[in-house]
Amino acid sequence: MPVYTAPTRDTRFVINELLKLESYGNLPGFETATQDVTDAIIEEAGRFVNEVVAPLNLSGDKEGCTRHADGSVTTPAGFKEAYKQYIDGAWGTLAAPEAYGGQGLPHVMGFTMECYLASANQAFAMYPGLANGAISAIREKGSPEQQAMYLPKMVSGEWLGTMNLTEPHCGTDLGLIRTRAEPKADGSYAITGTKIFISAGDHDLTENIIHLVLAKTPGAPESSKGISLFIVPKFIVNADGALGEKNGVSVGSIEEKMGIHGNATCVMNYDGAKGWMVGEEHKGLAAMFIMMNAARLGVGMQGLAQAEVAYQNGLAYALDRRQGRALTGPAEPQERADPIIVHPDVRRMLMDGKTFVEGMRALCLWGALQVDLTHKGATEADRQEADDLISLLTPVIKGYGTDMGYKVATDMQQIWGGHGYIAENGMDQFVRDARIAMIYEGANGVQAMDLAGRKLALNGGRAVQRLFALVDGECAETSADETVQLVSDRLSKVTGEMKAATMWFMQNAMANPNNLGAGAYPYMTLTGIVSLGLMWLRMAKIASAAIANGAEDKAFYEAKLACARHWATRHATEAGALRREIEAGSETVMALSADQFAIA
């Protein structure tokens, strides 16, 4: 049976020592987030997830969701009861706005809970996770009436929400959507069309589901400029808030898929369903992007979450499984073999895993803080800076975070040898569940293009210059601590490679956009390495100071320094190769005709 324990100590380190959340106490919503409050939430969230949600992961994967003869959908055994406890504990309301019944805490706290949930049980976590995006879209673009009608129950978790973009012929290119919205005399619309791959499309967790659906009104432009967004509830909500008749939306089938079996991925049929427009006509994509940006950060965090739980299980096995002897002589001569953690190759995978997981946790929670500062920063300049940084790094958190999450999950499966391939041990589930995060919410190649093709050039490159300034400032101080100085030097070098690659794009992408397309993916990876390096440098500085000040938990801080060195000596080294790959341009990538790709 796989294990999971929420990493509360490391979370507290990031929130209290790295982000210094308490120091933002002058900002709205942060004043109540004192350390005693956030520490208590972290520990209690960890306990809830460990005891209630994690035990349903393997069984939920085996059982999956069921569509019954009457078209209703049920989740795996135990999900409904666990979700009720999640609602009763108000876990979904941590960072939700107080105006709709939320607790109004910083986003960092909501994100911490989401991450624990996703490690413990990604399929389960996706039910409330999808609703969060829907809440953001209604909050920012919905009319006051829509906000009053839907948000309180969505925030409390009594109703959940979905995102309906994808159609059979239309995934990345949303301009192709065919779902139609016919205006009705009463101001509503009749929505007709088929959506596929809809996560949490139907289930038995809540009495109502609020679908957000992209559709086109009559005469709308054919491109993505013609898309509008609609609220389509499963049950129509009467003016008094009570549930009325069942709407014309049904589940055609549940997709059979590689992982996240406990989440109902549905084909949704809209058959003249009653819908209400959110925001302006033809501006649906902008509204949808509000959901998608929130969701992309959430998906990046899923990469971290699967790496985290896989790492915990890889480590447990490496300590327990005995095969062979340490290269330097038996570590436990009284036993017939040493635990496999003695082997440098096993340690390589564990160190890669730990360095990614802890670095990525810091990056994700730092990103969540930027989301808050975008809205709540003290000055316009603070808000602008936070917005620039999180806009730039959202595709990196999503793309690099999920690529690495998958890599760590397969490395941890590798540590289990053949037993990792046997389903009852659960390691294959982490690999299967991690895989989807690289695909949905925009495949990672599309994230790379969002970064290199769109975000880099915005406002004359202001965002990437801010990132460079941040890193340069962090590297400018010299340190007497060897590890800190090593990480600083390497980060400076890696950032130099990224600056050179950025300049190369500026000089070579305009004349030939394929140069940008061919280099976008390695550029995203390079940006990911720089971003984690920034986190490791900050963490190394904190750890070094803590040890110098005689911290009680010395082993914890020493491990931080070792991971920082591991990043500097074994991850930062990839940067030069990535730059050279970018600078190779598109010549070989585009060299063949479509026919020549066939292997004769």
Ligand X SMILES: Cc1cc2nc3c(=O)[nH]c(=O)nc-3n(C[C@H](O)[C@H](O)[C@H](O)COP(=O)(O)OP(=O)(O)OC[C@H]3O[C@@H](n4cnc5c(N)ncnc54)[C@H](O)[C@@H]3O)c2cc1C
Residues annotated as part of the active site: 441
Is 165 or 563 the residue whose CB approaches ligand X more closely? Answer: 165
Nearer to ligand X, 57 or 164 (CB): 164
- Residue 523 CA neighbour count, 13 Å, CB half: 33
Distance between CA atoms of residues 527 and 523, nearest Å: 6
Alpha-carbon distance of 564 to 561, in angstroms, equals 5
Residue whose CB is less far from ligand X, 214 or 532: 214
Alpha-carbon separation of residue 580 from 139, 504, 588 (angstroms): 45, 10, 14
Residues that bind ligand X (CB under 6 A): 163-166, 171-172, 197-199, 257, 265, 436, 439-443, 445-446, 449
CA distance 138 to 64: 30
CB-count burial class (<10 Å; 0-12, 13-18, 19+) for 298: buried
- Interacting residues of 502 by C-beta distance below 8 A, sequence separation 6+: 456, 461, 464
User: Nearer to ligand X by C-beta: 104 or 129?
Assistant: 129
Q: How far is the CB of 484 from ligand X (least distance, A)?
A: 39
Residue 593 neighbours by CB distance under 10 Å? 7
Measured between its terminal Cα atoms, the distance across the chain in Å is 47
Between 49 and 266, whose beta carbon lies closer to ligand X? 266
CB of 321 to ligand X, least distance (A): 33
Nearer to ligand X, 8 or 136 (CB): 136
Q: Which residue is nearest to ligand X (CB)?
A: 171
Residues 368, 309, 300: CA angle, nearest 5 degrees: 35
Sign of the four-CA dihedral 415, 419, 421, 426: negative
Tell me the C-alpha distance between 224 and 233, whole Å. 24
**Residue 307 is encoded by which pair of tokens?**
């790496």
